[in-house]
Structure 1
């Protein structure tokens, strides 16, 4: 079983996702060649997207490391990053069982109408595995650990249902949703903040999206020019000379340009599948909707996400040093800050001011939760061979509020699991009522 799942994971999103989408296209009656074209187009988009992500790693990560060294941040827990976090999660007992169990749960929830999302973002099942592994570590009960993992998977599906229409409106493609483990967990905070902003005149009346910014300041509001300005700021903080500064500025500008282009390719591949799905469910299920659950990466093409995602990097470093009780040194995951604020852009409809404020508040929560989970992360990392020990480690990836809530209740054993089930049923009722209202 482990060998089979390792092989599936080794295919990567550029192969596995197109295969799944090809099968879905055939099921929806799209036809062999159109299904094949849609799947391959999405795969090509993911290849381009991964190249852009690699650009973030090669361009931004060295600058972040230099900023950390230059300012001598004295924090004791090292951020190993999302790749290490996923490796830790999948190396556990819960991680070995998570893929078939979550897939089966998803099918059951779809069949009974408890969710509209079919989550094909199999690589991010690692978030659920990590929560379950932490609970299993503390309770010594793999059943309770698996229960906690499945609860988080369900919450992510419900969050995806809740935001589906907003995601579709902002991205411009129907029939998709975002159940990705971290993005889904950030939705409640951003929704609460959005309602709070409506009571604050200055923020509520703000209409500062990318189009309004361009209208107010002309070319200075263009994402490429903003990218150049952000690149210069990061270069100054890193102490770069002209050559390295020029490369960093060009890299940040390239990120601003490439991400939206790659997302357009992914959307181009998804459009025929969306139309086929709509026709299939209209014909066979009286118009019932089913969403294809994708990685939050498909939201990163939004200019607001890229601008605030870059700006939040130096802000997070400052926050980390002055935040009372924080022990985590943001490092490996910091260059990918856009992933942590992407749903704020969706909830706030691209408003730059609201997304920036929400992004800062969210990063504070991430640092606190990553600090809280660091002893468990370190133990699991040593057990999984990801870390040799002697250094306490964590990840911004693990600063997940769903993980924090579910793990703390999961520590109570079966009683905590019972409480989580009751909460989950309540969330199902709430999301269904919200969907009807929408």
Structure 2
């Protein structure tokens, strides 16, 4: 046992960009991939981790330095720089136990398929990182890795059930049959659904806004590099920079927001062959079964409602960030608030008025949760070397998937009584949500012409 432990620790000590490619290569071979293809996929993951670290260092060195000046000149204590989703998930992959979530998710999917507890064959391997994130956050807060992985496993199971119970809703929104969405952000429906259901009762369905017409007028202001430039200039001005420095920072911030999704695609590139291998592995073992293919949320990206609201919410985010007492996060990488607005789009079937009300209520929660977890992301970056954090600064993630649930999981694990009460409340809310959303989905299935058994 001691020899195995020493080998295991030696691999971990190599650092995430080295040991994760080794682990991914081994998993690929187990799933039936040829060794060269598995090795290539693993190596690209290592490249993605190094690349994300370089871009994060670039962001903290430039935007982070200006953010410090912003804090000093304005007196607003926003000392945690928002990374956004891509760097945050890239960072959690550097956690020493991150690789364990690969086999755990695959095994859970196999077991649930075998016992007919789900029809979702999940091929969205990039979002394994979201379960890693939950396990990491709970572990760091509680000091108990078993508790961390326990909550991550619960999350994984609920994602599969949510995918099953919203498959026809997804088809109605996208026009694509045979797919489902086991993405963690949609579990926010457990807490969002009572509010959106109340709005369904209070607001007539015809109270809505034509999103496409407004988005057409916004034009280039919805593009990453433009938003980054504007935000960078804003920070530079209030940081006391001169004109040349303000414009330079604007370009640097635009560069960071442009590069983040580009580097994030490398994670997808590395995990796609593993995803395909896992799909073939499970199809061979469950031949003759009808599956839905579990995909990532961008299959809904063609709709204008969420993009429009993300852009319109940006000034509101800054107002909240500056004036909310106790917030320490300076919005930057997560300005688009995907993981708040897209679930609201999903639940309201794209009703802009209801989505806007939900966004106004949800933004403060996301800022406070980001503030709560900022010390833990910062500690991870410092421990693993995943990013260089200047003295006096922290790294945060605004717009974290299932922010409310992750805070409840983590805070309750350290004995926070408010979180424990909310955890208890979450259980009946989850039953209510899944029962109600399933009933709605069956009605949508009938509307689409499917004959589906169920109540």
Does residue 323 of the first structure (1) align with residue 328 of the second (2)? no
Q: Distance in 1 between matches of 2:404 and 2:369?
A: 7
Secondary structure, in 3 states, of the residue corresponding to 2:350?
coil
Q: 1:231 to 1:355 in 2, by over 3 A?
A: farther
Contact 2:168 2:442 in 1 (8 A): no
1:175-231 superposed Cα distances (whole Å, 9 cap, x missing partner): 3333333x2243334433321212333686335443x769xxxx748x66988x999
Is the 8 Å Cα contact of residues 81 and 394 (structure 2) preserved in structure 1? no
Given the superposition, is the C-alpha separation of residues 379 and 425 from structure 1 closer, same or farther in structure 2, using an over 3 Å criterion? same
Distance 1:188 1:205 in 2: 24
Contact 1:373–1:398 under 8 Å retained in 2: no
Matches within 5 A, 1:48-67: none
Aligned to 2:333: 333
Residue segments in structure 2 that go unaligned for 5+ positions in a row: 1-7, 34-54, 266-275, 446-455
How far did residue 321 of structure 1 move? 1.5
Are the equivalent residues in 2 in contact too, given 1:117–1:161 (CA < 8 A)? no
Question: Are 2:366 and 2:403, in contact at CA under 8 Å, matched by a contact in 1?
Answer: yes
Aligned twin of 1:91? 95
1:342 aligns with 2:342: yes
1:253-283 CA-partner distances (Å, limit 9, x unpaired): xx9xxx9xx9xxxxxxxxxx9xx99xx99x9
CA RMSD of superposed structures (Å): 5.3
Query: CA shift at 1:70, angstroms?
Result: 11
- Aligned residue for 2:136, secondary structure, equals helix
Task: Report how far residue 366 of structure 1 moved.
Answer: 0.5
Q: Is the 8 A contact 1:208 1:353 kept in 2?
A: no
Deviation at 1:429, TM superposition (A): 7.0
User: Which of 158, 167, 170 does residue 170 from structure 2 map onto?
Assistant: 167
Partner of residue 51, structure 2: none
Give the match's secondary structure for 1:291: strand
Distance 2:146 2:425 in 1: 14
Tell me how far apart the structure 1 counterparts of residues 432 and 19 of structure 2 sit (CA, whole Å): 31
Q: Does 1:120 align with 2:125?
A: yes
Distance 1:90 1:206, change over 3 A: same
C-alpha separation in 2, matches of 1:197 and 1:421: 20
Is the contact between residue 167 and residue 441 of structure 2 (CA under 8 Å) also seen in structure 1? no
Aligned partner of 1:312 in structure 2 is: 313
* Cα gap change, 1:310 to 1:187, in 2 (>3 Å): same
Q: CA deviation at 1:8?
A: 10
Shift of 1:317: 0.7
Shift of 1:123: 4.1
What's the TM-score, normalizing by structure 1? 0.62
1:353 and 2:353 matched = yes
Q: 2-side partners of 1:402 and 1:317: how far apart? A: 24
Superposition map of 1:6-405 within 5 A: 72=74, 74-81=76-83, 82=85, 83-84=87-88, 86-88=90-92, 90-92=94-96, 94-115=97-118, 116-118=120-122, 119-121=124-126, 122-134=128-140, 136-137=142-143, 141-181=144-184, 183-201=185-203, 205-206=207-208, 208-210=210-212, 220=217, 285=288, 288-294=290-296, 296-324=297-325, 326-386=326-386, 387=389, 390-396=392-398, 397=400, 400-405=403-408
Deviation at 1:319, TM superposition (A): 0.9
1:309, CA displacement in angstroms?
Answer: 1.3
Measured in 1, the distance between the counterparts of 2:106 and 2:305 equals 33
Distance 1:84 1:310 in 2: 21
What SS does the aligned partner of 1:334 have?
A: coil
Superposition deviation, residue 337 in structure 1:
2.8
Q: Which residue of 1 aligns with 2:270?
A: none
